[in-house]
Amino acid sequence: MDRKKALKQQFKETAVTAGVYQIKNTINQKILVGSTKNVKMLNGIQFMLETNSYTTNKELQKEWNEYGKDAFEIEILETLKKKDEPYFNEREALAELEEQWLEKLKPYGERGYNQK
């Protein structure tokens, strides 16, 4: 029982890293840019794609099914540097960081899966 308690405590103390990621189709070079409060959740997104249950972007899911998982790369573009300030808003900072990457990569239309 002590081991279970220790594991729970370790989980609570583990730092959660927010960041911006991309999922890239290496066949047609289309990308999806997104953000998450916990970059470890990318495993969950990959699992949903593999089980045909990713409803967030139907075009990405369609091409994942068509080309297979080996045709895609999932990459963390940048992690959010959290500030130790009383008014730091992680959600807003993450949205701003994602917007910067959307402006830089422009993953719309023929170039990507994002919608304007």
DSSP per residue, the chain: -HHHHHHHHHHHHSPP--EEEEEEETTT--EEEEEES-GGGHHHHHHHHHTT---S-HHHHHHHHHH-GGGEEEEEEEE------TT--HHHHHHHHHHHHHHHH--BGGGBSB--
Mean pLDDT across the stretch 34-49? 95
Sign of CA dihedral 109, 112, 115, 116: negative
In whole angstroms, what is the distance from residue 66 CA to residue 111 CA? 18
85 vs 37: which has the higher pLDDT: 37
pLDDT tens, 101-112? 999 999 999 999
**DSSP letter (8 states) at residue 15:** P
Strand partners for 102: none
The pLDDT confidence band at residue 86, using thresholds 50, 70 and 90, is confident
Contact 19, 34 (CB under 8 A): no
The pLDDT confidence band at residue 13, using thresholds 50, 70 and 90, is low
Average model confidence (pLDDT) across the chain: 92
The pLDDT confidence band at residue 61, using thresholds 50, 70 and 90, is very high
Domains of the chain in sequence order:
16-106 (3.40.1440.10)
The pLDDT confidence band at residue 1, using thresholds 50, 70 and 90, is low
pTM to 2 decimal places: 0.84
Mean pLDDT across the stretch 4-16? 73
